[in-house]
Amino acid sequence: MKIATWNVNSIRTRLAHSLQWLENNPDVDLLCLQETKVPDEVFPRSAFEDAGFHLHIFGQKSYNGVALISRSPLEDVRLGFAGVIPPEIVGDLDDQKRVISGVLNGVRIVNVYVPNGSEIESEKYHYKLRWLKLLKVYLEDHLTRSPDLLICGDFNIALEDIDIHNPKTRATHIMSSDVERSALREVLSLGLQDTFRKFAQDGNQYSWWDYRSASFVRNAGWRIDHHYVTDGLYDRTLSCTIDPEPRKLEQPSDHTPVIVELANL
């Protein structure tokens, strides 16, 4: 089973890229999208359904938005934190549409778009930290029902210096501060492991490149799009690869897809 994650930075602008990528990658069973940037009623649903895909979307106007696009039906799809956690605990953390989840082949798959955080100590930064705290509660709830869990998406955090092209300023930079890293590690302490680092110990492999400063051609990137899995799935992980091809196209997303392959039972 192959599961891909891709922040498309607007599904309407990247519709042709997304459809072409799915056509080029027929063995990908599930594509997890982030930053669809569209209300559900305007999502280009039929473009995917006409191509034979099953679709689950959780979006909003202008910002954020996540989607699950699969070749076979998903089970038990949950929208937002409130799909799992009581609303009084969720509070304002579902106002931004950033999490969607379903089950495929017995594996609970969680697709997240973690807040960017803007600047360290800003209001958005503290929202990011609160969001990550609730993410742990949300995952704990899933784990009581599903021992096999995969969480993927745009985490907006580079956990190690090797994940950044230039780590010199990383301590004061959003996405790489110690506090953000600790917040993500606290989530991962539930027993989640990075599938990419099961295979690749070298640097210079990134999933996002800034549109500015010719970052892509200089390979001045960050690895911020991840797949984390529970122990049993980690043993079943056959590969985790970054596909840089869509980033080379005209009018690309600033992120590129990352694909994990799990051995079937």
Partner DNA sequence: ATGGCAGTACTATACTGA
Residues annotated catalytic, as ranges: 113, 154
Least separation in angstroms between residue 161's CB and DNA is: 15
Give whichever of 102 and 153 is closer to DNA, judged by the CB atom: 153
Residues 89-108 that bind DNA (CB under 7 A): none
C-alpha to C-alpha distances, 198 to 125, 139, 228, 233, nearest whole angstrom: 30, 22, 11, 12
Alpha helices in 192-260 (DSSP H): 196-199, 231-236
DSSP 61-126: SSS--EEEEESS--EEEEESGGGTS-HHHHTTTTSS--EEEEEETTEEEEEEE----SSTTSHHHH
Sort residue 258 into left (φ over 0), alpha (ψ -120 to 50) or beta: beta
Indicate which single residue of 115, 153, 246, 257 sits in contact with DNA (rule: CB under 7 A).
115
Residue 124 interacts with DNA (CB under 7 A)? yes
Position 211 contacts DNA (CB under 7 A): yes
> What's the rounded Cα separation, in Å, for the pair 123 and 96?
14
Angle at 151 between CA 52 and CA 263, to 5 degrees: 70
> Per CB under 7 A, does 10 bind DNA?
yes
1, 2, 37, 151: which one contacts DNA (CB under 7 A)? 37
179 or 263: CB nearest DNA: 179
Dist CA 123 CA 140 (whole Å): 26
Among 135, 224, 240, 258, indicate the residue that binds DNA (CB under 7 A).
Answer: 224
Residue 110 structure tokens: 């969680």
CB of 87 to DNA, least distance (A): 22
Q: How far is the CB of 242 from DNA (least distance, A)?
A: 15
Tell me which of 66, 69, 134, 175 binds DNA, using CB under 7 A. Answer: 175
By CB under 7 A, tell whether 256 contacts DNA: no
Rounded CA-CA distance 75/84 in Å is: 14
Q: Is 119 in the site for DNA (CB under 7 A)?
A: yes
| Site residues for DNA per CB under 7 A | 7, 9-10, 12-13, 35, 37-38, 61-63, 115-116, 118-119, 124, 154, 156, 174-175, 208, 210-213, 222, 224, 251, 254-255
